[in-house]
Amino acid sequence: MKQKNVLITLILCTLIVCMFFLVFFIKNSEKKSPDKSTEQSTTAYEIGYILGQHEGKLAIYKANSSTPIEIFDIYISSLPEHDKEELEKGIHASSEDELQILIEDYTS
């Protein structure tokens, strides 16, 4: 009878330890797997254009490029503070039409 109790205790302890590791690994795998919304937003920013600034002037960049494809003769310092902050971060345009609207907003 005593051996049976020891065996049951050993099995229960083994199950508890296994469950602990299972929960631990599941929680860690959730942290490592990318969030789908983050993955989708990253993908969205991989295409299109970024309206930003280059050497203090309004500039257009292809997404994921650090070289401007066009620089305008519009100084960022002449714009309102909110616009300066947005352009320093970069404003994403997913299409040429969207980019054209942004350009018209800043150049007119």
Q: How far is CA 62 from the centre of its chain?
A: 17
Res 29: pLDDT: 62
Q: pTM value?
A: 0.56
pLDDT tens digits along 75-92: 999 999 999 999 999 999
pLDDT tens digits along 36-67: 444 444 444 467 999 999 999 999 999 888 99
Q: Residue ranges of the domains in the chain? A: 2-33, 45-107
* CA dihedral of residues 10, 13, 15, 20 (deg, nearest 10): -160
Q: What three-state secondary structure class fits 33?
A: coil
- Paired tokens of 73: 């003769």
Assign 33 a pLDDT band (cuts: 50, 70, 90).
very low
Q: What three-state secondary structure class fits 73?
A: strand
CB contact at 8 A, 46 and 63: yes
CB contact at 8 A, 106 and 58: yes
User: What is the average pLDDT score of the chain?
Assistant: 81
Helix (H) or strand (E) holding 42: helix 36-45
pLDDT of 71 higher than 90: yes
